[in-house]
Structure 1
Amino acid sequence: MNKTNLQSNILLLITAAIWGFAFVFQRTGMDHVGPFTFNAARFALGTLSLIPVWWWFSSRAKEKSSSKVFYYGLVAGVFLFTGSTFQQVGIQYTTAGKAGFITGLYIVIVPIFALFMGQYTRKETWIGSTLALIGLYLLSVTDDLTIEYGDTLILIGALFWAGHVLVIAKYSPHVSAISLSVVQFAVCALLSFITALFTETIEVPNILLAGEAILFTGILSVGIAYTLQVIAQQNAHPAHAAIILSLEALFAAIGGWLLLNEVLSLKAQIGCTLMLLGMVVSQIKLFKIPSTIGEKPTIG
């Protein structure tokens, strides 16, 4: 591994840590404001924090200018809004650690969705998905064989996070990545604010009380972490990047333990281990022969 790749991997590890610890602040923020108010504030702040980054990149590189960025950003923003809504509402009824691991399932969901789009899925993905599914059972399914309410919402959110990844993969090659992000974050903030107007009571004092959580998830999680990811993935190996970013779930569990005194049962710990293993296995190459023969591209 050369110095450039090492630096990229370190930046990705920092990104995963920020995103993982963000689950803690997403949970504590709910002590003062509703989920839609919280998302509106943090994505608005994230949008503002990315504008200087967008200006910096556009002034130093040949920008891919396209009027389609607004349409693409709108579509991506709707997926982002839906995924973040289920996640933010669900995290009120579960732990930060569990939310992190369940959300991380989008890593194995993406290639399964891609299968229905005409792209074959590798054997490693099916093995990883099986391990993750067993882990999810141990983590979230209760003794009476029902999945807990908060975990269900987080899982539904993971489906939309997977859809969001596919949308970004489809649209980002055609427009500036930074511009697309600014638009999608703004769309998510606007949709969250409109929903909050009709479902919640927006009070400035309560927003200020949730200020620490909003600042962390808005500036660090959205602005800084996204920028680090963009810089790092210019030189990082895609599979290595996916594996490192999957550690977000582990950092979420560590954050919940350190800051919220969340303790997982032995059964849940085994479930988390299997889920993390499944995320990693789905991203590495174990077999030389693909699962489906053909000329179609592979995702996962």
Structure 2
Amino acid sequence: MNDTTRGSGVATLGLLAVTAIWGSTFVLIKDVVGRMSVADFLAVRFAIAAVVMVVLFALPLKRLSRKQLLQGLALGVLYGVAQWLQTEGLARTSPSVSGFVTGMYVVITPILSLFLFRQAMPWTTWLAVVLATVGLGVLALNGFEVDGGVLLTLASAALYALHIVGLGHWSKPGDAFGMSAIQMVGIAAVCVGITLPHGGPALPPDTHAWIAVLYMALIAGALAMLVQTWAQAHMPATRAAIVMTTEPVFAAGFAVLLGVDALTTRMVGGGALVLAAMYMVELAPRFRRRKPAEALHHEV
């Protein structure tokens, strides 16, 4: 195994860890937003994450060029607006439909990569996109109706896809600390800005809410953004998007483990299709690299 393959494999494991962390937060978020507004929750969460990351990564931030700072801020603003639109959409539609429509970034990402950066995809990647989409549908949907909430969520999915494509294009392994920090500043600016018309964000109401918010800020926010930024410097954007569609699989798994939901055939079937898509984009590149070497060996 060469260094590129090894680095790519570690990046995939890192991105899987991020999606597992995100999947673990669904139950926490549902509990916390029942006791504080969504806007306040997002503002406090990302403001804490931004402060911590700027303090910890002050030197890497200073090493970024003006162009990189602007790119990172733009990516952060994209992500922050996507978070806001997704949350507004969730307030108007069911969680299952929201999860499915948000997952449409797996379809939008390769389209944006093709049109923005002329990055053509092999047929195996397009097949994996179809598998992941079907898997998300099986996992999440019991019914579907296009309404305002769905349109807002679809807009958030487009912005998430744009963030994934932009991050994959601009992120470099050596700049991951600085780029992740400046992105978090952009996200926090958007989320805090949304609360300003109402006098700014209100703090969590109790100790339990504070613990959940701190976990979301430091683990599911700061750490997750750092790992995603580093991982996307080692893999194509579409492949990253397909790996990240495992988030609802992890969310369903945590819900079953915590006794919130019962295990169903739909969960197993949908999860299997999403995992099959991920394995396809992981194994196909390795097979293509191995094939020329095998052919040369047979010719000798």
Q: Which bracket does the TM-score occupy, shorter chain normalised?
A: 0.7 to 0.9
Equivalent residue, structure 2, for 1:119: 119
Using the TM superposition, name which of 154-163 and 255-264 deviates more.
255-264
Does residue 87 of structure 2 align to residue 88 of structure 1? yes
**What is the CA-CA distance between 1:79 and the residue it aligns to?**
0.9
Equivalent residue, structure 2, for 1:220: 219
Retained in 1: the 8 A contact 2:68–2:179? yes
Residue-by-residue CA offset, 1:8-45 (whole Å, 9 max, x unaligned):
77655543322221233233221122222211111111
Does residue 209 of structure 2 align to residue 206 of structure 1? no
**What is the CA-CA distance between 1:98 and the residue it aligns to?**
7.1
Retained in 1: the 8 A contact 2:180–2:225? no
Equivalent residue, structure 2, for 1:293: none
TM normalised by structure 2 equals 0.73
Give the 3 Å change call, closer, same or farther, for CA 159–57 of structure 1 in structure 2. Answer: same
Give the 3 Å change call, closer, same or farther, for CA 152–258 of structure 1 in structure 2. Answer: farther
Aligned-residue sequence identity (percent) comes to: 28
1:11 and 1:148 map into 2 onto residues whose CA distance is: 36
2:54 and 2:227 map into 1 onto residues whose CA distance is: 15
1:238 and 1:115 map into 2 onto residues whose CA distance is: 12
In structure 1, runs of 5+ residues without a counterpart are: 290-300
Using the TM superposition, name which of 11-20 and 78-87 deviates more.
11-20
1:249 and 1:272 map into 2 onto residues whose CA distance is: 8
- For residue 270 of structure 1, what is the amino acid of its counterpart? G
Counterpart of 1:116 in 2: which secondary structure?
helix
Calculate the aligned-residue CA RMSD, in Å. Answer: 4.0
Retained in 2: the 8 A contact 1:69–1:175? no
Residue-by-residue CA offset, 1:73-131 (whole Å, 9 max, x unaligned):
33112211122113333455544x87666545534532222122222121012212222
Q: Number of paired residues? A: 281
- For residue 26 of structure 1, what is the amino acid of its counterpart? I
Counterpart of 2:171 in 1: which secondary structure?
helix
Give the 3 Å change call, closer, same or farther, for CA 29–200 of structure 1 in structure 2. Answer: farther
Residue-by-residue CA offset, 1:224-248 (whole Å, 9 max, x unaligned):
33445567778x7779x94765543
Retained in 2: the 8 A contact 1:124–1:282? yes
1:263 and 1:32 map into 2 onto residues whose CA distance is: 25
TM normalised by structure 1 equals 0.73
Higher normalized helix content (fraction of residues): 2
Q: Which has the higher contact order (CA 8 A, sep 6+)?
A: 1
1:216 and 1:141 map into 2 onto residues whose CA distance is: 29
Does residue 188 of structure 2 align to residue 185 of structure 1? no
Does residue 70 of structure 2 align to residue 71 of structure 1? yes
Equivalent positions of 1:213-252 (< 5 A) are 213-228=212-227, 242=240, 246-252=245-251
2:67 and 2:226 map into 1 onto residues whose CA distance is: 22
- For residue 214 of structure 1, what is the amino acid of its counterpart? V
Retained in 2: the 8 A contact 1:17–1:248? yes
Equivalent residue, structure 2, for 1:45: 48
1:8 and 1:103 map into 2 onto residues whose CA distance is: 23
Using the TM superposition, name which of 220-229 and 200-209 deviates more.
200-209
1:226 and 1:68 map into 2 onto residues whose CA distance is: 20
Does residue 28 of structure 2 align to residue 25 of structure 1? yes
Using the TM superposition, name which of 225-234 and 261-270 deviates more.
225-234
**What is the CA-CA distance between 1:195 and the residue it aligns to?**
1.3
Give the 3 Å change call, closer, same or farther, for CA 103–282 of structure 1 in structure 2. Answer: farther
Give the 3 Å change call, closer, same or farther, for CA 111–167 of structure 1 in structure 2. Answer: same
